Structure 1
Amino acid sequence: MTAARAGDDPATRDRLPFAATPSDVRGRGFSSRAALPTMEGWIDAAVAPLPPRAVALADLPANLAEGAVLAAPLTAPGDWPPADRATRDGVAVASSDTLGAGSYNPVPLPGAVTVAAGEPMPPGTDAVLHVESMQADGPFVEALDSAAPGDGVERRGEGLRAGMVLLTAGHRLRPQDLGLLAALGIDTLHVGARPRVRIVLAGGPRSGPETLGAMLTALVVRDGGVVELVGPLPADRAALTAAYAAPAADLLISAGRTGVGEDDVAPLALADAGTLALHGVALRPGDSAALGRAGGVPAVLLPGEPMACLTAYEMLAGRAVRRLAGRDPALPHPAVPAVAVRKLVSEIGCTELYRVRRTADGLVEPVASPHRPGLAGAVLADGFVLIPAESEGVPAGATVTLRCFDGTSL
């Protein structure tokens, strides 16, 4: 293998893994593993955003749950509001006509025009006198208070000026965005593509296909993809090769059979179907993940153990899905500072993910170490802390970055 062992010199380690095909690790173990930044670099080099899609504004509400994002910056087509308009119900007046008005000195307003909030201001008026500051006697209106120029008025262009950048590329659209765009008369938007992602469940019951299928489908949809779920398939090299080589996908994700057992044939099947570029990553959990190509598209092999699968998806496969969808490839989890209750021990040379929860006093404590399998710790956790490969861990009382799991409130 060409990737470096965990703990080797990073400058050397990060230059190596694009060269030779990794060897068969079954029954031997990994002689070396690629650094996580090297795996991320491979994905960034191999995966480019798909062409954006044009979507009618009327169809976008159904896309919001899928996280529709803009493919290009959006500029305001004109001033907003397009003309001076009332911000409250009342009568539109020339402010100079209300000078000296008071409850003991009502001032007649022969030119007053009744307006509702949102209506354009009539010519010759520059303020809206609210209903509590006026009295009416049939068609005659009197001011009981004076109004300054601009009272109750939103000026033309006060919200937006024509040509200003309204939303940037990569912006995830929200309900309020759609409301303003409709008001501006924008009827079509170019948003990120929805990549077709084939998820192959490899190896049968030992890999927990029901667990992995449900979890990975939700993750891919979150990141903007459309899922084709295949399997579970037996731990058969030929069957997996055929599934990997099948056309009509933008990305292949396979879960299971990536380790060192005799039936861990997924990496060999990927090599048969195309290219096995990297196998083994200095990441815990998830260290048996692999990258390559099959059927003309990038492929990410994930471990079958559920927590390792989740970790490798978030750090590797999710990055590929998000890039294809034209999104920010970085982790989508909100990051907030926190203080560790006790030491988080880590091994130099390996990026480690600690599942943690917040205490009542706002600190964080580990729920499960990177060595503990299973999703129970992830369910009980509020998020995770990543310990970088060059660190021996985090001492008690140190500030860490908590990345909140989906659905966890900040």
Structure 2
Amino acid sequence: MISVDEHRAAVTELLGTRPGVELPLADCAGLVLAGDVRAGVALPPFDNSAMDGYALRSVDVVEASDDSPVELPVSEDIPAGRTDVPALLPGTAHRIMTGAPMPPGADSVVMVERTDGGTGKVRIFAAAAPGAHVRRTGEDVAAGSVALARGSVLGPAQLGLASAVGLDRLLVHAPPRVLVVSTGTELVLPPDELRHGQIYESNSVMLVAGLRALGCHVESIRSVADDVETFRAAIEPRLASTDLVVTSGGVSAGAYEVVKDALTGAGVSFRKVAMQPGGPQGLGRWDGVPVVTLPGNPVSVLVSFEAFLRPALLASLGHSGTDRQHVRARLIETLQSPKGKRQFRRGYYTQAQGEVTGIVGPRGGPGSHLLAAFTQANCLIVLPEDVTEAAEGSEVDVLLL
């Protein structure tokens, strides 16, 4: 057997780093920048008003107060978007709206709430310090500077900033096209009626959801019979348009292991990983296309996704942080673990206010078929290879989901 860390490193190396591709901003949410973004314009691109009010010279209203307002003639209206902004003459004011360019000669803005709102003349009830309510050119971003650094994850704020500095496309790490394949003659698609010995297919549903949450483009083949020729015929025509194939089932030591039978000798190797659940794993290239093969039991699929696929795909997409958050927690009951294997147990973690260390308890047993328990879990309890028993009250590693 090989270790969990060795197999994770092998999957990460197999997937490599996704190439850069230019995409419209609307298609970049959640993706990672593949290069620095420099600002083509300053933000703000010109001095502008931070308030609805009156642009003026601060020296003209230095004596203004509630008891002794200063009256000034209003010579211009400056709405946002006006491009022909006339200069301000001494002893006058321009009515100005939020975001409108500051007129040459003005050095401050008095908000409309501190005036009588006049249009021909305006009475000012407060003094204004130089620069009051003025947004300066380049105050947010200087022209030519790096507005967004390579490796930035593109959320709403980042995409808004890219547009604000004049871009409509960004160079991002290209999301892979993933083909998910569930194998097993026993698999039936809901809502068809089950016959004795059959089960409803669920692995592809879980994998598609997890992969799409990472930004992957995913298609699935939900039920492939345990027949080598059928398996190859279902997948081979799609390889040319696929960046990654992920299979579930057919990789263990039974008599009808279709994935292992079809891909052994075709560039994919199969191995036992020292973990529970999810020991049977495989990886390689089929006609040059990366392939990651997972076990068939649903909990094994989800644990394998968390242990191997999720971090490897995040790394390939340019993310610097690829791990779930790890914390330490006290067990509320004793757990057993097989010697020499890293065990992943579904658990529920809580932390009381003011407490440094949280508590965690298992949800369901260690069986790889107990999917319902996973729906009640918010973490994985990780017991190392050299631990066969973790006593109640002892501290363990917890992987927060």
Deviations for 1:37-68, whole angstroms, at most 9, x for unmatched residues? 111221233222232221123x43xx53xx33
Q: Is the 8 A contact 2:183 2:225 kept in 1?
A: yes
Deviations for 1:91-118, whole angstroms, at most 9, x for unmatched residues? 1122222212211111233421111111
Q: Decide which of 218, 234, 238 is 2:225's aligned counterpart.
A: 234
Deviations for 1:56-87, whole angstroms, at most 9, x for unmatched residues? 23x43xx53xx333222223233211122211
User: 1:373 aligned to 2:369?
Assistant: yes
Q: Percent of counterpart pairs with the same letter?
A: 31
User: 1:270 aligned to 2:270?
Assistant: no
Q: How far apart, CA to CA, are the structure 2 residues paired with 1:310 and 1:102? A: 69
Q: Is the 8 A contact 1:257 1:265 kept in 2?
A: yes
Q: Decide which of 231, 249, 254 is 2:247's aligned counterpart.
A: 254
Residue 237 of structure 1: how far off its partner (Å):
3.0
Aligned to 2:87: none
Q: Is the 8 A contact 2:297 2:368 kept in 1?
A: no
Aligned to 1:108: 71
User: 1:295 aligned to 2:312?
Assistant: no
User: 1:54 aligned to 2:22?
Assistant: yes
Look up the equivalent residue of 1:271 and give its one-letter code.
T
**Equivalent residues in 2 for 1:112-131, closer than 5 Å:** 112-131=93-112
Aligned to 2:36: 73
Q: Is the 8 A contact 1:341 1:396 kept in 2?
A: yes
Q: Decide which of 299, 303, 326 is 1:307's aligned counterpart.
A: 299
1:101–1:396 distance in 2 versus 1, CA, 3 Å: farther
Residue 209 of structure 1: how far off its partner (Å):
6.0
Deviations for 1:250-288, whole angstroms, at most 9, x for unmatched residues? 11111112222222242232114x123341111221111
User: 1:86 aligned to 2:54?
Assistant: no
Residue 124 of structure 1: how far off its partner (Å):
1.7
Q: How far apart, CA to CA, are the structure 2 residues paired with 1:144 and 1:156? A: 28
Aligned to 1:355: 346
**Equivalent residues in 2 for 1:153-232, closer than 5 Å:** 153-205=134-186, 210-232=201-223
1:81–1:403 distance in 2 versus 1, CA, 3 Å: farther
User: 1:387 aligned to 2:383?
Assistant: yes
Q: How far apart, CA to CA, are the structure 2 residues paired with 1:287 and 1:45? A: 20
User: 1:149 aligned to 2:143?
Assistant: no
Q: How far apart, CA to CA, are the structure 2 residues paired with 1:122 and 1:399? A: 66
Stretches of structure 1 lacking an aligned partner (at least 5 in a row): 1-32, 406-410
TM-score, normalising length: structure 2: 0.81
**Equivalent residues in 2 for 1:33-52, closer than 5 Å:** 33-52=1-20
Deviations for 1:7-64, whole angstroms, at most 9, x for unmatched residues? xxxxxxxxxxxxxxxxxxxxxxxxxx2111111221233222232221123x43xx53
Q: Is the 8 A contact 2:184 2:249 kept in 1?
A: yes
Q: Which of structures 1 and 2 has the bigger CA Rg? A: 2
Deviations for 1:279-322, whole angstroms, at most 9, x for unmatched residues? 11112211112222212122111111001011112222334444
Q: How far apart, CA to CA, are the structure 2 residues paired with 1:366 and 1:48? A: 35
Residue 228 of structure 1: how far off its partner (Å):
2.8
Deviations for 1:324-380, whole angstroms, at most 9, x for unmatched residues? 44445824x455665544455544532222222244846332213444532211111
Look up the equivalent residue of 2:41 and give its one-letter code.
G
Aligned to 1:29: none
Residue 181 of structure 1: how far off its partner (Å):
2.1
Greater mean deviation of Cα atoms: 34-43 or 237-246: 237-246
CA-based RMSD of the aligned residues comes to: 2.8
1:353–1:102 distance in 2 versus 1, CA, 3 Å: same
Q: How far apart, CA to CA, are the structure 1 residues paired with 2:95 and 2:105? A: 14
Q: How far apart, CA to CA, are the structure 1 residues paired with 2:22 and 2:203? A: 32
1:133–1:174 distance in 2 versus 1, CA, 3 Å: same
Q: How far apart, CA to CA, are the structure 1 residues paired with 2:396 and 2:106? A: 58
Q: How far apart, CA to CA, are the structure 1 residues paired with 2:167 and 2:98? A: 23
User: 1:316 aligned to 2:308?
Assistant: yes
Q: How far apart, CA to CA, are the structure 2 residues paired with 1:257 and 1:174? A: 39
Look up the equivalent residue of 1:227 and give its one-letter code.
V
Q: How far apart, CA to CA, are the structure 1 residues paired with 2:233 and 2:288? A: 13
Deviations for 1:386-407, whole angstroms, at most 9, x for unmatched residues? 33435566665566665443xx
Look up the equivalent residue of 1:296 and give its one-letter code.
G
TM-score, normalising length: structure 1: 0.79
Residue 153 of structure 1: how far off its partner (Å):
1.7
Stretches of structure 2 lacking an aligned partner (at least 5 in a row): 73-90, 188-197, 353-357
Greater mean deviation of Cα atoms: 87-96 or 357-366: 357-366
1:337–1:146 distance in 2 versus 1, CA, 3 Å: farther
Look up the equivalent residue of 2:182 and give its one-letter code.
L
Q: Is the 8 A contact 1:270 1:293 kept in 2?
A: no
Aligned to 1:5: none
Aligned to 1:26: none
Number of residues of Structure 1 aligned to a counterpart in Structure 2: 366
| Secondary structure of 2:370 counterpart | coil
Greater mean deviation of Cα atoms: 190-199 or 203-212: 203-212
Greater mean deviation of Cα atoms: 292-301 or 206-215: 206-215
Look up the equivalent residue of 1:104 and give its one-letter code.
D
Look up the equivalent residue of 1:158 and give its one-letter code.
E
Residue 138 of structure 1: how far off its partner (Å):
5.1
